[in-house]
Structure 1
Amino acid sequence: MEQNKGNEKAEGEQNDVGEKAAGDSEDVKIGIIGECGLDTPVVLTNRQECAVCTPFGKPSDIIIEGKIENCNCALLSRNGRLHDIMPTNVNYRANIWAMRKLGCTHILVTHTVSSLRESIQSGDIVVPHDFIDNTTKRCQTFYDGAVGSPFGVCHLPMYPAFCDRTRLHLINAARELNLPVHSRGTVLTIEGPRYSTVAENSLYRNWGADLLSMTLCPEAVLAKEAGILYASLSFVTNKECWCTNQPIATTHEIIYTFKKQVEKVQQVLVKTIQSISKEDWTEDILKAKILVCSNFSNRNELT
């Protein structure tokens, strides 16, 4: 795309801010990104499949739109419904851009994570408050100067790393369901698809990481760059190899653990969606958009 078209996109984003500011709580639409099979048996009414085109290619799979607790929602399987996309090859930019294009104001995501701490056990739920990105091969921004990308550069602040108000809804939902939940946690994202070594585990623990994921980053960064309120519901499937008093879990065991508990994850999501949809998010949505606009720069601002 030509640079002047990129400028039009940037101006369009600023216009979006004004449009959202004029909206009300009925404008809330929640995107859900998670593991394959997450939408079953989620009660999603008025289901329809949607193929979305983006400047960054195709999302991981078709997006399923519908209503949960009378709130507009859009579901996407991060690794594809057949789980045939490895973490590095997930098109994170297309996934987030598609959610933005569909008008999502929030994104709730699920992640399977492994524990680096004795206090965090398999089967626990963690709503992380921060992350460390240790990936090396993934596109980190929409504003990369490539053809089709928005023009300019976005120097995005990452504090807080997640939307705290959305996080609180997830935490409260889990507590209301009497599920074991940790209200804080730092997730370190590794490149994958391999698991980490004992030496790497020791390093990550010294860095202050509590959990390991392969898919949180750059998804969280891109959601913030898109002006979307984002929070993660992380499900602990196993302890990492630093823990020598238990066998190392295999991939099949990790998948089995998640599938066995997936209904609990779904219950938390449904309850969270129900509570989010009852509140007015106008100011939060506006602030998320303004954050992007106020940290966006291009050559026109330097002349």
Structure 2
Amino acid sequence: MTSPEKMHPVGIIGGTGLTTLSGLEITGEKQVGTPWGNPSAPLIEGLLGDQPVTFLSRHGNPHRIPPHQVNYRANLKALYDAGVRTVVGVNAVGGIHPDMGPAHVVVPDQIIDYTWGRASTFFEGDLDSVTHIDFTWPYDESARQILIDAAGAEGVPFSGFGVYGATQGPRLETAAEIIRMERDGCDLVGMTGMPEAALAAELGIRYVCLGLVVNWAAGKSDHIITMEEIEAAIEQGMSGVKRILEVSMAGLGVLTPLPQSS
């Protein structure tokens, strides 16, 4: 356990629908740089309850950076340099599993990476040696259980499992691509889950995904996907996501930091 005066701030990376975090008592804002460039937006520092929090809008504020152009390395390094050792990545996703429809919350346990061409590692360039991190379990189990317990306590409809399929974007998928992903074992589809999770692992950051289903994946409904549908699901489900974050902060803040990979 970490004493309150030594609590690390918990990082929250907000995606579509979570550009700002209501309930956050803001104490500061920092525009920072990293060796990999600038993060998507300034770091917003504050308190959620009694827990120090550092919030970062993944797509910028306003929302204007597409998934394939997010500087994931700068985002994670900026949070790490700010003292963050646990990150909750909030993701808007499409539902493939029949139980994971619009406005449903998911705390996935696995991920499959279908992205390409993204800067996806800190371990490249002029290195002393090649480093391979273990990525068997991409999401921190201790953090997952805290989110799952919070969702249960708040009565938010959720699933405590799921395979997240990370696609390139920014276009949505074809029905045939979703059929392939379902055969592969994917329950969800999104565009920002990777390389965010892997970069966190390279830094030794505990990382967990909190997914909000905002639409049925392509071919899983009898209509095309519309922004109106997505916005309605965000409006319906985001209050549950925020309640889970608020309830889970105290537990996430006292998790023991992991050793940094090197």
Residues 124-139 of structure 1 aligned to structure 2 (within 5 Å): 124-139=104-119
**Percent of residue pairs bearing the same amino acid type:** 32
Quick one: structure 1 residues 210 and 46, their matched pair in 2 at CA, closer, same or farther if it must change by over 3 Å? Answer: closer
Is the contact between residue 28 and residue 104 of structure 1 (CA under 8 Å) also seen in structure 2?
yes
3-state secondary structure, aligned to 1:73: strand
1:34 alignment partner, one of 3, 14, 23: 14
Residue 276 of structure 1 deviates from its aligned partner by: 2.7
Q: Name the structure 1 match of 2:161.
A: 184
Quick one: structure 1 residues 39 and 88, their matched pair in 2 at CA, closer, same or farther if it must change by over 3 Å? Answer: closer
Q: Name the structure 2 match of 1:175.
A: 152
Quick one: structure 1 residues 248 and 62, their matched pair in 2 at CA, closer, same or farther if it must change by over 3 Å? Answer: same
TM-score (norm 2): 0.93
3-state secondary structure, aligned to 2:147: helix
Q: Name the structure 1 match of 2:209.
A: 232
Quick one: structure 1 residues 151 and 98, their matched pair in 2 at CA, closer, same or farther if it must change by over 3 Å? Answer: farther
1:203 alignment partner, one of 173, 180, 189: 180
In the alignment, the residues of structure 2 paired with residue 233 and residue 248 of structure 1 have an alpha-carbon distance, to the nearest angstrom, of 25
Residues 207-286 of structure 1 aligned to structure 2 (within 5 Å): 207-244=184-221, 246-277=222-253, 279=254, 281-282=255-256, 285=257
In the alignment, the residues of structure 2 paired with residue 36 and residue 213 of structure 1 have an alpha-carbon distance, to the nearest angstrom, of 11
Residue 37 of structure 1 deviates from its aligned partner by: 6.1
Residue 154 of structure 1 deviates from its aligned partner by: 2.2
Is the contact between residue 36 and residue 82 of structure 1 (CA under 8 Å) also seen in structure 2?
no
Q: Name the structure 2 match of 1:82.
A: 62
Quick one: structure 1 residues 40 and 136, their matched pair in 2 at CA, closer, same or farther if it must change by over 3 Å? Answer: closer
Q: Name the structure 2 match of 1:52.
A: 32
Is the contact between residue 56 and residue 94 of structure 1 (CA under 8 Å) also seen in structure 2?
yes
3-state secondary structure, aligned to 1:184: coil
Is the contact between residue 87 and residue 205 of structure 2 (CA under 8 Å) also seen in structure 1?
yes
Number of residue equivalences: 261
Render the CA deviation track for 1:97-145: whole Å, top value 9, x for unaligned: 0000001010011101001121222111100000000001111101111
CA RMSD of aligned residues (A): 1.9
- Between 1:89-98 and 1:41-50, the stretch displaced more is 41-50
The answer as to 2:94 corresponding to 1:114 is yes
The answer as to 2:72 corresponding to 1:95 is no
Equivalent residue letter for 2:163: T
Equivalent residue letter for 1:176: A
2:259 alignment partner, one of 267, 289, 298: 289
TM-score (norm 1): 0.81
Residue 151 of structure 1 deviates from its aligned partner by: 5.2
Structure ranking higher in helix proportion: 1
3-state secondary structure, aligned to 2:29: strand
Quick one: structure 1 residues 95 and 187, their matched pair in 2 at CA, closer, same or farther if it must change by over 3 Å? Answer: same
Quick one: structure 1 residues 87 and 151, their matched pair in 2 at CA, closer, same or farther if it must change by over 3 Å? Answer: farther
Is the contact between residue 39 and residue 75 of structure 1 (CA under 8 Å) also seen in structure 2?
no
Residue 46 of structure 1 deviates from its aligned partner by: 4.3
Quick one: structure 1 residues 70 and 188, their matched pair in 2 at CA, closer, same or farther if it must change by over 3 Å? Answer: same
- Between 1:38-47 and 1:124-133, the stretch displaced more is 38-47
> Which consecutive unaligned segments of at least 5 residues does structure 2 have?
none
Based on CA coordinates, which of the two structures has the bigger radius of gyration?
1
In the alignment, the residues of structure 1 paired with residue 136 and residue 112 of structure 2 have an alpha-carbon distance, to the nearest angstrom, of 12
